[in-house]
Every structure is written in structure tokens, then in C-alpha cells.
């Protein structure tokens, strides 16, 4: 919901550092980042929540850095954008799974299954819509991302907040899973309404 504004703010802050990083490729940053995401999930299984939170936030920082590096050093390409989103989903799936494995509770397993199912639905809601918009050349030339994706209630910023809450309030993980799943489902409905209005 706040992604565009926050991305522009983040880019202004990080640009001086990124301009000096001429010897590392954006794809390398993406790959390093996913190891932090997987590490965060492993810490979740061990109830080491502060380490998990730290690794999650490093993962998100590196995810923001790879695209900025690509833009500043003219290294943008379709494979890099594809790799970035693919590795994002590795972290997005691994971390809730880590909490589910650590909890060993049937109710949390069910909430985890619901969350991952909603992820699947959400992914379909924007990936196929993105392909249609690309076919219709609906890309905004000013966009900072590889793909076209209409905004919704839950975006990258909201995901960072909720995943951070996983680590900060693990005793409420069941409730957070349910609330987050519900908000993602509302986002899917928003995109469906948007598509009906704009694609019919």
C-alpha cells in the first residue's frame, strides 16, 4: 500500500552507498539475501527470534539494494527481475513454515496452511494480471519494478511489518497468521475488482 513512496525514500537514502558498489552484481546481492531469509526461517524453528528478526530485516534490505544497484549501474535485465521475485518467494514461504514447525500445534498448522494457500491465490491474482497488463503494454515507464502489479492493501511494506511481528510476538503467531491471511485475501479481492473494471 505504501510501497511506491517508501521505495523512493529508500532509494534516496541508499543511493550514495549503492553508487560505490561497482564490483558486485545485483544478482549476487539477491542470492546473498535469500540465504539470510533461509537463515531467518531456521532461527524461527529454534525459537531464536531476535536473530531471526535481524536476518529477516537484512534479507529485506538486500532485496531493496539489488534493484537499486541494477538501476544505478544500468544492469537491469529480465532474468535479474525474475530471480529477485523467485528468491523473495523462497523467504516468504520458508519463514512462516519455520514458525509452524517450531510450534508443533494443530491449530497453528491449520493457520499456516491457510496462509500458504492464500499466498498461492495472491500470487495467481497478480502474476496473471501482470502478464495481461504487459500484453496490453500497460507498463508505467516510471515504475521501479520489473513487473506490473496493481497496488493493494498488502504490499511489500506490510509484509515486512507482519513478518517482523512474527518474531516480535511469537506467542500470538496463530492470530497474526489469521489476520495477515485475511488482509491478503482482501488484497486479492481488490485486484479482482480492479481487473473487472479495467480489463472488461
Q: What is the mean pLDDT of residues 119-143?
A: 77
Taking 60 as the threshold, does the pLDDT of residue 130 lie above it?
A: yes
Taking 70 as the threshold, does the pLDDT of residue 22 lie above it?
A: yes
- Report residue 62 as a C-alpha cell: 538486500
Note the pLDDT of residue 10. 72
Pick the more confident residue, 161 or 130: 161
Taking 80 as the threshold, does the pLDDT of residue 40 lie above it?
A: yes
Q: What is the pLDDT of residues 141-177, one digit of tens each?
A: 445 565 667 778 998 899 999 999 999 999 999 999 9
Q: Which residue in the block uniquely carries the three cell numbers 497474526?
A: 176
Cα–chain center distance at 138: 22
Does residue 57 sit in helix, strand or coil? helix
Q: Cα(164)–Cα(139) distance, rounded to whole angstroms?
A: 31
Note the pLDDT of residue 144. 52
Please provide residue 142's backbone torsions phi and psi, each rounded to the nearest 5 degrees: -90, -5
Q: What is the mean pLDDT of residues 60-78?
A: 88
How much of the chain is helix, strand and coil, in % rounded to 5?
80, 0, 20
Distances (CA, A) of 64 to 46, 107, 138: 27, 34, 24
Domains of the chain: 3-199 (1.20.120.1760)
Q: Cα(160)–Cα(95) distance, rounded to whole angstroms?
A: 12
- Report residue 162 as a C-alpha cell: 507482519
Residue 73's pLDDT band, with cuts at 50, 70 and 90, is confident
Q: Cα(102)–Cα(174) distance, rounded to whole angstroms?
A: 12
Q: Cα(38)–Cα(85) distance, rounded to whole angstroms?
A: 15
Q: How many CB atoms lie within 10 A of CB 96?
A: 25
Note the pLDDT of residue 19. 84
Note the pLDDT of residue 163. 97
Residue 199's pLDDT band, with cuts at 50, 70 and 90, is confident
Amino acid at each position: 500500500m505504501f510501497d511506491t513512496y517508501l521505495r523512493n525514500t529508500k532509494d534516496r537514502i541508499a543511493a550514495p552507498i549503492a553508487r560505490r558498489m561497482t564490483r558486485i552484481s545485483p544478482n549476487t546481492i539477491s542470492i546473498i539475501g535469500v540465504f539470510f531469509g533461509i537463515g531467518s526461517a531456521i532461527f524461527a524453528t529454534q525459537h531464536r527470534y531476535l536473530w531471526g528478526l535481524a536476518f529477516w530485516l537484512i534479507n529485506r534490505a538486500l532485496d531493496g539494494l539489488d534493484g537499486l544497484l541494477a538501476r544505478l549501474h544500468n544492469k537491469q535485465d529480465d532474468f535479474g527481475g525474475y530471480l529477485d521475485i523467485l528468491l523473495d518467494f523462497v523467504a516468504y514461504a520458508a519463514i512462516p513454515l519455520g514458525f509452524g514447525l517450531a510450534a508443533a500445534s494443530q491449530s497453528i498448522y491449520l493457520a499456516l496452511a491457510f496462509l500458504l494457500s492464500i499466498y498461492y491465490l495472491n500470487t495467481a491474482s497478480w502474476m496473471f494480471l501482470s502478464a495481461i497488463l504487459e500484453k496490453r503494454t500497460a507498463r508505467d515507464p516510471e515504475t521501479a519494478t520489473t513487473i506490473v502489479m496493481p497496488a493493494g492493501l498488502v504490499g511489500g511494506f506490510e509484509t515486512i511489518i507482519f513478518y517482523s511481528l512474527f518474531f516480535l510476538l511469537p506467542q500470538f503467531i496463530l492470530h497474526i497468521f489469521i489476520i495477515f491471511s485475511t488482509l491478503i485475501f482482501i488484497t486479492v479481492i481488490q485486484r479482482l475488482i480492479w481487473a473487472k473494471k479495467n480489463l472488461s
